[in-house]
Amino acid sequence: MKKIITISRECGSGGRTIAKKLAERLGFQYYDKELIDRVAKESGLAKEYIEEQGERITGSLLFNIASNMTYASQVFGNSMLPLQDQLYVVQSDIIRDIAEKGNCVIVGRCADAILQDRTDTMNVFIIADTKDKVIRAAEENYFPNGDIEKQLKKRDKARANHYKYYTEQEWGVAKNYDLVLNSSEFGVDGCVDVIEMLVKRY
């Protein structure tokens, strides 16, 4: 049986809910905010910064690196690594440690790529039709102001940039995952059913 399930997801696809329900059904540990808490504790970085920068690169990469360098020298003293890279290193170490303990569901944060040398992982990607993502984002108030569809796209773009920058792989390309499910087609519970069935079988 697979012991580590990574759930990558488009913003608004319901991937987080699917991950949570799946963990409950399997009796697995669920890591999302819990991961952020641990990264905060071990890195000394603010949770808000980790949440913002732990799986997104927004705006100009060059600007990010420049401002990271400034922050880095403030926080880490002599360290030459930009802050976002330090965050990635700490986060990766924690993900590897969590995986070592097994029986877990990890949401986002490049966990699929970080754990790619393991054979006991199942990497899942959750997508949804745009109209359903907009409805979910509105219901859950992801973006209080402005055009929701545009902001969803921007969020996914920032995740894709982050993933590519750190893993050198393309986010959302079918061949990087074991299983991709469209939650508009199968519903949140349908997706949980399929993943649960496959986890138990393999």
**How many residues interact with a copy of itself (rule CB under 8 A)?**
22
Q: Which residues in the 7-46 window bind a copy of itself by CB under 8 A?
A: 10
Work out whether 175 is an interface residue with a copy of itself (CB under 8 A).
Answer: yes
Half-sphere exposure of 141 (CA within 13 A, CB side): 1
Q: Which residues contact 117 (CB under 8 A, 6 or more apart)?
A: none
Does 160 bind a copy of itself (CB under 8 A)? Our answer is: no
Instruction: Tell me, residue by residue from 91 to 130, as one string, x for binding to a copy of itself by CB under 8 A and - for no binding.
Output: -------------------------------x--x-x---
Nearer to a copy of itself, 65 or 198 (CB): 198
Please name every residue paired with 4 in a beta bridge, in sequence order, or none if there are none: 104, 121
Characterise 14 by phi-psi region: left (phi > 0), alpha (psi -120 to 50), beta (else).
left
* 169 near a copy of itself, judged by CB under 8 A: no
H helix runs in 44-126, sequence order: 47-53, 61-75, 83-101, 111-114
The contact set with a copy of itself (CB under 8 A) reads 10, 122, 125, 127, 172-175, 177-182, 185-186, 190, 194, 197-198, 201-202
